[in-house]
Amino acid sequence: MKVFNQSLNNVQWITTAYLLAVTLTIVLAAYLQRSFKFKSLIIAAGTASVIGGVICMLS
């Protein structure tokens, strides 16, 4: 932790937040797979990716 000048407490909180985000992503993906057709999910993901790219380009 000395290399990054961070305390162990900060690293533990970041690790906890990361694991929580991964857990929520897995649960959300399972729910979406059960609720929607695969083609709809691919179209929505592609559209979100293009919109995100346009927003980044404009920033």
Cβ contact 35:41 at 8 Å: no
Range of the domain at 42: 8-58
Q: Is residue 1 part of a domain?
A: no
User: Which residue type, as a one-letter code, is found at position 3?
Assistant: V
Flag whether 18 is in a domain: yes
Q: State the pLDDT at residue 5.
A: 86
Q: Coil, strand or helix: which one is 59?
A: coil
**Number of domains within the chain:** 1
Q: CA-CA distance, 42 to 48, in Å (whole number)?
A: 10
3 within some domain: no
Predicted pLDDT at 17 = 97
Residue 25: inside a domain, yes or no? yes
Q: Is 41 exposed, middle or buried (0-12, 13-18, 19+ CB in 10 A)?
A: middle
Would you say residue 37 lies in a domain? yes
| pLDDT of 55 above 80 | yes
For residue 13, what pLDDT is reported? 95
- What are the backbone dihedrals phi and psi of residue 21, each rounded to the nearest 5 degrees, phi first? -65, -40
Per-residue pLDDT, averaged over 25-29, amounts to 96
